[in-house]
Structure 1
Amino acid sequence: MYEETPRVELTPAAADLLRHLRQTHGPLMFHQSGGCCDGSAPMCYPEGEFRTGDSDVLLAELHVEGVEEPVTFWMSRSQYEVWSHTRLIVDVVEGRGSGFSLEAPEGVRFLTRSRVVGP
């Protein structure tokens, strides 16, 4: 289960984009797997479309104003071990990311920034 202290936050631009994507695609989720290129970016899917399991960690249930249900944020366990000392900040930048993430047709992509947090 995710921790009580928020490990993931959204920029206002990311929250705006999630509201837009929610209207089009229904409930949403993020998964960040690691790997190279787009694999290290948070991917946005319709909730439940990406199968999570024992190799994944639920980091947060993000509450977005204007969106009924929380947007879950999952990360592969191996990637979490690398990022566990940080707070993740989901932002939006111009440019195309992966074709699998819902924002790709919008001409933008989600990007994770980080800030080191104490133990």
Structure 2
Amino acid sequence: SHYEGLVKQKTKVIMDLKLREEHDIDKMMSMEKQLMFLNEIVYKRSQSIQTIHMMAPKVPTYNGRPTFSNPRYLKQAQSEIPCLYAFPYDQSTHANRLILDGEETLALERES
């Protein structure tokens, strides 16, 4: 009778462990499904952001500044803020890059 009680208790513990293991396996499977679903959402979101970026109209720029499709707008912007569009000297040649104000330097040389 004592032996039968121990056997019943042992079988009950084994059954409880099996049920708990099955429950844990089911829980892990559902978590894996949820993780796959969330990963798919993140992937699709990053893809849509990339697609939006690729399909967005490109703004033409020159040296990081927006260009003007209509020259009239450039003239208007130059009249409003002339310091942004004023080029005191031509930097296209290497010699002029070293001279800060070529015309001013020549004028001072003529005066002296």
Q: What's the TM-score once normalised by structure 1's chain length?
A: 0.17
Structure with greater strand percent? 1
Higher Rg: 2
Q: What's the TM-score once normalised by structure 2's chain length?
A: 0.17
Structure with greater helix percent? 2
